[in-house]
Chains A and B, each alone.
Chain A
Amino acid sequence: ILNVEQSPQSLHVQEGDSTNFTCSFPSSNFYALHWYRWETAKSPEALFVMTLNGDEKKKGRISATLNTKEGYSYLYIKGSQPEDSATYLCAFHTGFQKLVFGTGTRLLVSP
């Protein structure tokens, strides 16, 4: 059974703080690692899809790194804003058409 773990489970920061989350996944049978952002009452949207060990992706104030050999990925948010409040999901892809999701990190950014 594939297990994807995310930490912390939830996080409450002040506007302007920088924060980071961790996603741990199996180090074998790796095809891709996805990060999704899920705002309340909306549908999850892909932030990053990473396939290569050492990948680093950036979108505005949000960035992610990938280590497939040790099975972890970090998501960083620099200078958090209230609009960053959402649940951040990571998902592990083995290449067999099934994504295995972690339980997510719920981020709340207070003004």
Chain B
Amino acid sequence: KAGVTQTPRYLIKTRGQQVTLSCSPISGHRSVSWYQQTPGQGLQFLFEYFSETQRNKGNFPGRFSGRQFSNSRSEMNVSTLELGDSALYLCASSLPLGRGNPGELFFGEGSRLTVL
């Protein structure tokens, strides 16, 4: 069973540019969550999508956005990049809560963004 796939794995951008990151969840997983990790910080929740709908959003500015497609693949976009956006962005997929599932997340390896 293929795991969660994130692309690209590494990228370098300059301030003011925008970036799009992609995430393909495990087959059958319809929930996709995005997290940001910066040095010294825990995983900060960005947003969560289920069946193409954003169900939850973290405390990030509007420059951070996302979407989910009908095949459950998800993208996140960051516009007008700032130096502080340099981070590892992790995507995770999961099965719906309930049905004996307490919400375990299955993570991709992340996309490491460097903003110069």
- On A, residues with C-beta under 8 Å from B are 4, 31-32, 34, 36, 41-46, 49, 51, 89, 91, 93, 95-104
Q: Is the CB of A98 within 8 A of B40?
A: no
Residues of B within 8 Å of A, CB-based: how many? Answer: 27
Inter-chain CA distance A95–B56, complex, in Å, is 12
Bound-state Cα–Cα, A89 to B42, Å: 8
- In the complex, chain B residues whose CB is within 8 Å of the CB of A42: 109
The answer to whether B107 and A45 touch across the interface, beta carbons within 8 angstroms, is yes
Q: Which residues of A contact B90 (CB under 8 A)?
A: 43-44
A95 touches B108 (CB 8 A): no
B89 → A minimal CB distance (Å): 12
Other 5 A-B pairs with CB < 8 A, given A46-B106, A99-B45, A101-B35: A34-B102, A34-B104, A97-B48, A97-B97, A101-B43
B110 part of interface (Cβ distance < 8 Å): yes
Q: Which residues of B contact A49 (CB under 8 A)?
A: 102-104
Q: How far is the CA of A96 from the CA of B96 in the complex (A)?
A: 11
* Beta-carbon contact of A93 and B102 below 8 Å: yes
Contact status A103-B40, CB under 8 Å: yes
What separation, in Å, do the CA atoms of A32 and B105 have in the docked complex?
Answer: 12
Closest residue of chain B to A95, judged by CB? B97
Kindly identify which residue among B3, B45, B102 contacts A32, using a CB–CB cutoff of 8 Å. B102
Cα separation A78 to B54 with both chains bound (whole Å): 41
Bound-state CA distance A49–B101 (Å) is 9
B70 at the interface (CB under 8 A from A): no
Q: A106 CA to B97 CA in the complex, in Å?
A: 29
Question: Is B31 in the interface zone, CB < 8 Å from A?
Answer: yes
Cross-chain contact A93 with B43 (CB below 8 angstroms): no
Whether B4 is near chain A, meaning CB under 8 Å from some CB there, is yes
CB distance from A67 to the nearest CB of B (A): 17
In the assembled complex, the Cα of A4 lies from the Cα of B45 at a distance in Å of 13
Chain B positions within 8 Å of A44 at CB level? 43, 90, 105, 107
A47 to chain B, nearest CB (A): 10
